[in-house]
Amino acid sequence: MGHPQIAAFARLANGGAKPTRAIAGQNTLFNRTIHGMAYDPVRDEILVPGNHAFAILTFRGDANGDVPPVRKIFGPNTTLLNPSNVSIDPVHGEIFVAQGNRVVVFPRDADGDVAPIRILQGPDTGFLPRPNDTQRVTVDPVRNLLIASGAGGLRIFDRTASGNTKPLRFIAGAGAKDVRLLTNNPANGMIFGAVRAGENENENIQGRYDLDDFVGVWSVFDDGNVPPRLTIGGPNLALKDARGIAIDPRHKNVIVSDKTLNAVLTFSVPEAF
C-alpha cells in the first residue's frame, strides 16, 4: 500500500467520505503501514507503534497533517521488537505492547530509551512464539484485567500480572481462537474481538472473499470453551476479512474494518452495551 495514514472520519461518515483530518508525512515517523493504534481519552492522545524503528509514537489527539509525535518510546532499553500493536490503560496510565510471546508495559509518560516497568512472559502465561504468538491486548481498568488474544484463545490476567503468571481465565473454542484485534467495554465487562475465521498465510487467496468473518462478543467472566455471546457482521453477512475493532459506547456502536472490502463498517448493537 502506497500511503499510510491515520484518518479521522465523522461518526456518521458514509461512502467515500472525506476525512476531517489525517496524520501522515515524513515528520510523523510512520513507516510503510500501521497495524496498531490506541486513543487515550484522558490525555487526548493517539498512540501508534512504529514497526520498523521499534518505537511507540504518541501524538496529540487533535493532530493533523505532517506533525511529529510529542513523545516516542524508542531505543535499546525498550527491548521493543517489530511492535505492531499498542494498548492504553487510561485510568492507571500504562501502555501495553504484545511482543510475540510476551507483553511489555511502559508508563504513559515514558519518553526516549526507557525499559519496560513490567514484562509478562513465561510458560505459565500460555503465550507462544511466532507464528502463534500473542496478537493484541486490551485492558479493563475497572476490573483490573488484562485480556490477550492469540495463541489459541483469549487469556485474561490480572492487570498488573508480571513474569511467569497463569491467566485467571482462558476462553477457547471456535471464535475465540481466531480473534486478532480486540477491545473491551469496561462499563459492562464485554470483550469485542475481530474473528478472522480461516485466516490463511500471505500466499493463499482462497477464502479471502468468503463472508466468514465476524465480531465476537464475550464477557470477561467467560472461561473455557464457550461460544461468543453475540456475533456481529456475520458470519455469512458482511465481513470478509475483519481487521480492526472499536466501540462507541455512548451511541452503542461497534465499528470494524475489513481488509478485503477496504472499508470501515459501523453496526448499531445496543444489545452489546
Partner 1 sequence: MTQLGRAWRTSRAIRLFVLVALFGTATQLVLSREGRAPQDGTRRTKIIGKDRLVSVEPLPEMDGEMCVYPELMASLQQGSASALMASLPQQQSGAAPVASTPPRRPSDAVRSAVAARKPTSTVKDPRNSFAGLVVDPIRNEVIMAEENNFSILVYDRTANTPPGAALSEPKRMIQGESTFLEFACGVYVDPTTGDIYGINNDTLNWMTVFDRNARGNAAPNRKLATPHSTFSIVADEENQELLMTVQDPHAVVTFKKTAKDQDAPVRLLQGPKTQMADPHGLALDPKTGLIYVTNWGTHNERRIPAVGGGTGRGARKPNWPVGGDQSIPGSGYFRPPSITVYRKDAQGDVAPLRVIQGPRTLMNWPTSIAVHPDRGELFVANDTGDSVTVYRADADGDVAPIRILKGPRSMIKNPTGVALDLKNNELWVANFGNHSATVFPIDAAGDPVPKRVIRSGPANAPSPMLSNPHTIAYDTKRDELLVSN
User: Are 60 and 68 spatial neighbours (Cβ–Cβ below 8 Å)?
Assistant: no
Query: Considering the rule CB under 8 A, would residue 225 count as an interface residue with partner 1?
Result: no
C-beta of 174 vs 263, nearer to partner 1: 263
125 by DSSP, 3-state: which? helix
What would the grid cell of residue 106 be?
Answer: 511502559
Q: Which of 67, 75, 134, 196 binds partner 1 (CB under 8 A)?
A: 75
Query: Considering the rule CB under 8 A, would residue 120 count as an interface residue with partner 1?
Result: no
What is the closest distance, in whole angstroms, from the C-beta atom of residue 164 to partner 1 in the complex?
17
Q: Which of residues 161-220 bind partner 1 (CB under 8 A)?
A: 181, 186-189, 201-203, 205, 208-209, 214, 219
Query: Considering the rule CB under 8 A, would residue 46 count as an interface residue with partner 1?
Result: yes
Q: Is the peptide bond before 19 cis (omega within 30 degrees of 0)?
A: no
Region of 118-126, 147-155, 254-262 interacting with partner 1 (CB under 8 A): 254-262
Q: Which of residues 5-34 bind partner 1 (CB under 8 A)?
A: 5-20, 22, 24-26, 29, 31-34
Region of 78-86, 119-127, 147-155 interacting with partner 1 (CB under 8 A): 78-86
CA 230, 235, 236, 238: dihedral to nearest 10 degrees? 80
C-beta of 31 vs 124, nearer to partner 1: 31
Q: Which of 118, 183, 114, 173 minimizes the C-alpha distance to 148?
A: 183
CA 55 to CA 82: how far, in whole Å? Answer: 8
What is the closest distance, in whole angstroms, from the C-beta atom of residue 254 to partner 1 in the complex?
9
User: Are 154 and 179 spatial neighbours (Cβ–Cβ below 8 Å)?
Assistant: yes
What is the closest distance, in whole angstroms, from the C-beta atom of residue 129 to partner 1 in the complex?
9
User: Are 265 and 227 spatial neighbours (Cβ–Cβ below 8 Å)?
Assistant: no
